[in-house]
Every structure is written in C-alpha cells, then in structure tokens.
Amino acid sequence: MMGSKPLRPAIVVTSTTVMRGDVIEIGGRHFEITDLIDLSGRARRLRFRTGETLTMSSTTRLLATRPTARR
C-alpha cells in the first residue's frame, strides 16, 4: 500500500499517463500500482501491490497521487 511516502495532490490519469508507483483510491482503499500491461486499443491492465488488477480502457479517467521524489 502507500507506506509513509509523501504524496502530491491528486491528478487525473489516463491509460496512457498512469505510471508505476501511482496510488489510486477505489472504494475508500488505496492501491499502489506495481506493474502496467499494455493491451490493444491503448488500454492497460494495472497490477496493484495487493495482487489485484484493474483494466483501464482508453477513455477511463482516474484520480491518482504520485509519490514525491526523495532528495
């Protein structure tokens, strides 16, 4: 899950802009993305640290937070 990494404000991500390490909230739970699998039609399957997956179509929009880079 999120751990203790400081987060930036939420941003809108699409299947083409979502990144490993992004954290999205679904049903009040936070899920950290650990892997991205490209699918046809610009869709992507997101794999979370919990082992669960979510498929984003090219039209899906989600709110995500990105951990800040440690200096």
Q: Which CATH architecture has domain 11-65?
A: Roll (2.30)
The answer to whether the beta carbons of residues 62 and 13 sit under 8 Å apart is yes
pTM of the model: 0.81
Q: Does residue 12 have a pLDDT over 70?
A: yes
What is the mean pLDDT of the segment spanning 12-16?
Answer: 96
pLDDT of residue 67: 84
DSSP 7-70: BPPPEEE-TTT--TT-EEEETTEEEEEEEEEE-GGG-EEEEETTS-EEEE-TT--EEEE-BPPP
pLDDT tens figures, 32-69: 999 999 999 999 999 999 999 999 999 999 999 998 76
Q: What tokens does 1 get? A: 């899950």
Q: What tokens does 57 get? A: 């179509």
